[in-house]
Structure 1
Amino acid sequence: MIQKTSTPSLTAAASIQEEPLSIIGGPNYQQREAILLAPYAMFSANTRGRNVIEADQPYRSPFQRDRDRVVHSSAYRRLSDKTQVFSGVSDYHRTRLTHTIEVASVARTMGRVFRLNEDLVEALAHLHDIGHPPYGHSGEDVLAECMSAVGGFSHNQFGLVLVDQLETRSPAYDGLNLTQEVLDSQRTRIDKTGAAPQSPLFEAQIVEAADSVTYDAHDVDDAVKVGLVRIEQVLELPLVRRCHQQACERYGRVEGSVLRKMIVHELIDLQVRNVIENIGAALAENPPQSAEEVQSRPPLVTMSAELLAEKRELERFLYHEVYRHPAIVRFREQVQHQLTTMYRGYLQHPEWLPAKIAGRLDQWGHERAAGYYLATMTDTYCTNEFKKRFGA
């Protein structure tokens, strides 16, 4: 339960402006937040802190430090060699890192509209996919099968393992020692049933929406670019057709690669505008007065029923025509053989596990340790390790 603390008011903001500025010549983060943030945003002054107490910094808020710790982590850098969907199909595709950057960009745009804590938004956006294994969705599916006896595999859950246990930045503690708000927001991504006792923070809801907005649009982009589907096929979908009409009204006749790029732009813009309009209407009717009140209500971040129905139709198309495309299915079969072979190999040869993983065997057990080691790998490292261990 978040501690009940008062949200800085406009009066408080005015008084803060009259206080002496920090020694570096500008306002400290609490002064900036008191001036800029809406009452329902998550103020750094109200954080429940970290598991291990650390000295404060006047020029970086706790959530800025969380963002920086994630971005500077080894696990974050490895996202540059972890593909999202199209690994093995083409050398043109988004990686988990490019997707993450795109999500952070869209989320920050929406967060700024509603005067949310942009530092927290960025921290959550950069963290949200950090637990993905190699080889995109195929890799996660195979690891879930391999680890079924110990509860399966979830990239959201593994993301917490990375930042709580495996990443190292200080001899004083394991992990990154992130704030409770960041960790709790990541935990809400694990349970998608809606059974959680409270809604996520406004900032976390925004990141979830930005993730959904971007991956559909960018999967369309990548699928058309690499030739898995034709642009004419996606133009038959109501949501894409509407975006095409908007692009033509604005620019006239558009063709070729420019058409593909304009459709992606319109897909993102249309969804973002719809989310912003829906949130604005909800806030105008009954604005929450604190982050705690946001969590006590149903989610604020929603799409209109009409747009959501069109979005679901687009996602069904992506599932049947892209994610189940013969080229993707063939690649998944290769991934299944490779990861299953490696998983069994690590079970039989725990001495192959690196010290950081082997040191957790008593805590995790062999099955989970083997799966988690595979999940840390990049596409390239996993391929090379397979060749090294199994000569394939």
Structure 2
Amino acid sequence: MNVREYTEDQEQKNLMPWACKSAASHRLTEETQDDLRTAFQRDRDRIIHSKAFRALKHKTQVYLSPGDHYRTRLTHSMEVSQISRTIGRALRLNEDMIEAAALGHDLGHTPFGHAGERAINKYTGHFTHNEQSIRVVTYYGRQGRGLNLTTEVQDAILCHTGSKLPDTPEGAIVRRCDRICYLCSDLDDGIRVGLVGPDKLPGMVAMRLGTEPTQILDILVHNIVECSAGKNKIILDSYYDEAVEEFRNFMFAYVYECPSLEKEHHKAEHVIMSLLDLYVKEPQLLPEEVRLNFERFGKMTAIVDYVAGLTDLSAVRMFNQYFVPKVSE
């Protein structure tokens, strides 16, 4: 019995009956199994070593260039992974699958966070970052072969947001933790940047969840574990779920759609739409590897893939190169 087989055997013995088991996972393109790592461990490693994952360190979470100590898409993904794994381990679910899905859930996110996503959606008529994450892992990386992730991890990535719910309890954990994590971390960053303060939280939120981001996370994580223990569903008590919804409404009103941020987000949308329009009209400006994908994916799709994969820094640099006059000192 090799290391992988031993791990798979331990999963069968120790995980809950409804947990995802590595030995039962599937890939669209079957591969020779690894001696050391399970299928979900290989998924995690492919995500971590991908170019798309590295790019997350320079992609906005909410605040555009606020400083060194604020969340990016990379740190957000790491926080979702940590919280999700804590819950998964407590519920005896597959921690490796959870980690892979959590680290990969935002691989398709655009520059400038949801502002970039809105810009591409306006330009093309349909674009969502969760669907783009699936495109990234399907077609990009490993010399164009894609990451070939397991179907279970892909389902969790696709369904971490949107109307379709995940097929697995591991995916349900990532979906739930993504929301509570971004609300708490964005509140924490909002306090740092001076947009909001703990005293501004609605009474229901303060009374049921607390006023400190770490306190809110602790309460919600414990409640999910308590309510979901011994069940094949991931449950949050309605008492807290109602407060989370109120918390979300507060964050949209005071942070995500506040005038000072919206002004910067409109600028970001302008950058993205300008680049899309430029590359559609003058595709010769694109890197050769992008133009080679015109035949494979179609011109518009290849351009969207390229622009969506840019970091905030590279998008601004390209905008300045093509749209800002060069003035000598």
State whether TM-score is above 0.5.
Answer: yes
Match of 1:157 among 115, 131, 135: 131
The code of the aligned residue for 1:226 comes to V
The code of the aligned residue for 2:6 comes to N
Structure 2 residue aligned with 1:129: 106
- For residue 184 of structure 1, report the CA deviation from its aligned partner: 2.7
Structure 1 residue aligned with 2:243: 310
Matches within 5 A, 1:40-189: 40-48=18-26, 50-89=27-66, 92-148=69-125, 152-168=126-142, 174-189=145-160
* Contact kept in structure 2, 1:90 and 1:226, CA below 8 Å: no
Structure 2 residue aligned with 1:269: 218
Structure 2 residue aligned with 1:348: 281
Structure 1 residue aligned with 2:200: 233
- The answer to whether residue 262 in structure 2 is matched with residue 329 in structure 1 is yes
Structure 1 residue aligned with 2:7: 29
User: Matched residues in 2 for 1:359 and 1:201: separation?
Assistant: 37
The code of the aligned residue for 2:72 comes to T
Q: Deviations over 1:246-288 (max 9, x none)?
A: xxxxxxxxxxxxxx7xx111110111111112212xx3xxx5x
User: Matched residues in 1 for 2:305 and 2:280: separation?
Assistant: 12
User: Matched residues in 1 for 2:257 and 2:219: separation?
Assistant: 27
- The aligned length equals 325
Unaligned stretches of 5+ in structure 1? 1-20, 245-259, 288-293, 295-299
* Contact kept in structure 2, 1:89 and 1:328, CA below 8 Å: no
- For residue 301 of structure 1, report the CA deviation from its aligned partner: 1.2
- For residue 187 of structure 1, report the CA deviation from its aligned partner: 3.2
- For residue 370 of structure 1, report the CA deviation from its aligned partner: 2.2
3-state SS, counterpart of residue 30 of structure 2: coil
- For residue 84 of structure 1, report the CA deviation from its aligned partner: 0.7
The code of the aligned residue for 1:176 comes to L
User: Matched residues in 2 for 1:329 and 1:89: separation?
Assistant: 15
**Runs of 4+ more than 6 Å apart:** none
- For residue 54 of structure 1, report the CA deviation from its aligned partner: 2.0
* Contact kept in structure 1, 2:156 and 2:171, CA below 8 Å: yes
Unaligned stretches of 5+ in structure 2? none
User: Matched residues in 2 for 1:91 and 1:183: separation?
Assistant: 31
Structure 2 residue aligned with 1:209: 176
3-state SS, counterpart of residue 377 of structure 1: coil
* Contact kept in structure 1, 2:208 and 2:243, CA below 8 Å: no
The code of the aligned residue for 2:214 comes to H
User: Matched residues in 2 for 1:382 and 1:80: separation?
Assistant: 14
User: Matched residues in 1 for 2:66 and 2:207: separation?
Assistant: 27
- For residue 185 of structure 1, report the CA deviation from its aligned partner: 2.6
3-state SS, counterpart of residue 32 of structure 2: coil
User: Matched residues in 1 for 2:254 and 2:58: separation?
Assistant: 25
Identity over aligned residues, as a percent?
A: 31
3-state SS, counterpart of residue 178 of structure 1: coil
The code of the aligned residue for 2:277 comes to R
Structure 2 residue aligned with 1:200: 167
Q: Deviations over 1:118-146 (max 9, x none)?
A: 11110111111111000111111111111
The two structures have a TM-score, normalised by structure 1, of 0.78
The code of the aligned residue for 1:188 comes to C
Q: Deviations over 1:91-111 (max 9, x none)?
A: 542000000000000010000
User: Matched residues in 2 for 1:80 and 1:384: separation?
Assistant: 16
* Contact kept in structure 2, 1:240 and 1:267, CA below 8 Å: no
- For residue 155 of structure 1, report the CA deviation from its aligned partner: 0.6
Q: Deviations over 1:62-88 (max 9, x none)?
A: 100000000110100100000111114
The two structures have a TM-score, normalised by structure 2, of 0.92
Inter-CA distance 358–237: structure 2 relative to 1 (3 Å threshold): farther
